[in-house]
Structure 1
Amino acid sequence: MLYDRIIKQGTINERGGKPEPQFALPSTVNWMRALRILAEDEGIDFGTATAFYGKEGKRKMDVWVENTVLEQLFLGLHHLSALDQFRGGTTAADYARVGVLAWYYGIANAASAMTAAQSGSFQEDHAGTARLWDEQIASRGLAMAPFSWRVSSLVEKTYKAEVDALRNGSAGKLQTRPSTKNDALGAAAGYLSGSAKWYAWKTEEDLKRERAFKELGVDSFRSKAARTLRDQRLERKPMGFVHQAARYRGKANYREALFLAYGSGTETILSGYVEDMHAVLKAFLAMAGAFARRKLGKDLWSEFVADVDAKKAFTTRAGDIWA
């Protein structure tokens, strides 16, 4: 009954019916598995990340910037601790949706810590955080794979060529659960391509509401003038890992109620899902922490880790991630 009502009939905001939830679920789970495989293949932990940032030195920053870096890392660690507790649950569907939110906000907090440590910059909205992290970190070679994966623009011919290079000949598909690095390369490339296509579509929809487009007197991008206007906008829009994470969170937070929670096969598809989210966030936090340590200096860093483990109210230890 609920499926027929929501999917076939629709709701106030989608009166023609909602998307089929079982179509999106496998790709949602498989992208996270692919990220875990690639991060583990890279061997990301605090030690390898510290070596990766070996050329980064301490940066002079005021106390408010230092405090922002520490605050954002602490928030990220708290989200990781929540995922750690979810791993002990018996029914994945009970915590899959809130697990995605914990995963995303942990990523966003860690990304914000990195940008604050890099340039003293901080954004409080999702789009701004993603843009700033891509600009300050990923585009400068300061992220480890697979978190370094990005496209330099949303022009289709540009991002498709860049995605193909990252795919590296893999035949892996996003719709199939990856089990090897080769599978994971294809699945991650598929999600990157799909995200670029989605952000390009969103950019087009936003552009249609602007005066420059309306003055063309058209309703699509079929004309040369409209395509030129669109491509000029798309060319200036790169997209990186935190953009993908924000889109991922949006699916869980705003998609119809049945996604992640309805259907006899859902629990089987979700097997291992929260463990994958935990592993990926742990790797990203290890990377962010290693970067922050270089920028803050070892004395403040050691004081921070010791204080967290002495005073935290949650379970996960800072020393298990950042030492």
Structure 2
Amino acid sequence: MMRLKERNERSGLGLKLLLTPEFGILIPILIVCVITTILKPNFLTWKYISSILVGSVFIGAATMGESLVIMAGEIDLSVGMNGCLAGVMCGIAASQWGLGLVPCVLICLLTGAVVGALNGVCVCYLGLSSWITTLATQFICQGLAVTISQGEPQSIASLGLSSVTRAKPLGLSWLFFVFVLLIVLLDVLIRRTRYGYSLRSVGGNQEASVMAGLNARRIKLIAFILAGTFAAVGGLFDTLNAGAANAAFGSGREFRAIICCAIGGISMTGGAGSAFGIALGVLLFHTLWYCLRILDVNTNLQLVLIGLILVLSVIMDIQRKRLEARKLV
């Protein structure tokens, strides 16, 4: 009887570890890497690993912003084109207005924050659906980006950053280290601040949070503004990496960001998630995408596999919630 009880406890512990986002994500990452190494023996070299790490930062910045809105129980479909518009504004400020680095960066981040604030006001104070609102601002940002740039790349050569952007400390772009710093700061925000606690409370149970005295509207508004700012960081990364802003950057990024959030353990119904889970979700998504590309897998099959991973992630989220509900009984 005791052995049976111990066996059940061990199996329960194993299931708990498997359903833990940070631990559960490592397993498919290892599986993908092993399979790719078997098919392409030189895969596990710094050349490929560094390419995966650096390539993750662009979708990673948008994912960080998306995660905050999802944790608040909402959605933001504008993070891709919001970042694109912010990047274009940075390029316009550099190429046409002749501004320096700091003003260009501030204009970029302010553009993203303003779009985020617009989303937040419409959702939190006008009562509009976040799906409809952010879908509308997605098209608005895309139209403005193309119109303002006239469909032409906007060079930032005047900022004199070519030597900096080409620098490869430890074989990595310096953008990667900025991304790691942002992940750490996001973790502090989510787990160590009163706002992070309030954000998860509102996303988990808004009615109970309001009854407890939390201002749900303000908390969600801040989440949308932060999402817009992080989206702008992604657009800034694109612009700095390419040396020019382009109205084509960021297309479809919002859906990849949502997938990364789901993979990274952000509850799609709000209220739960971690910054490091987000980082691992981005790493898994980009590792899979990169490996499928270097193995010359058919594009349509790539979409099928990514869709299956999204479904699996949602199933794991449901199982995780069921496991937590059993604990409370």
Q: With structure 2 as the length reference, what TM-score do the two structures score? A: 0.27
Q: With structure 1 as the length reference, what TM-score do the two structures score? A: 0.27
Q: Which has the higher helix share?
A: 2
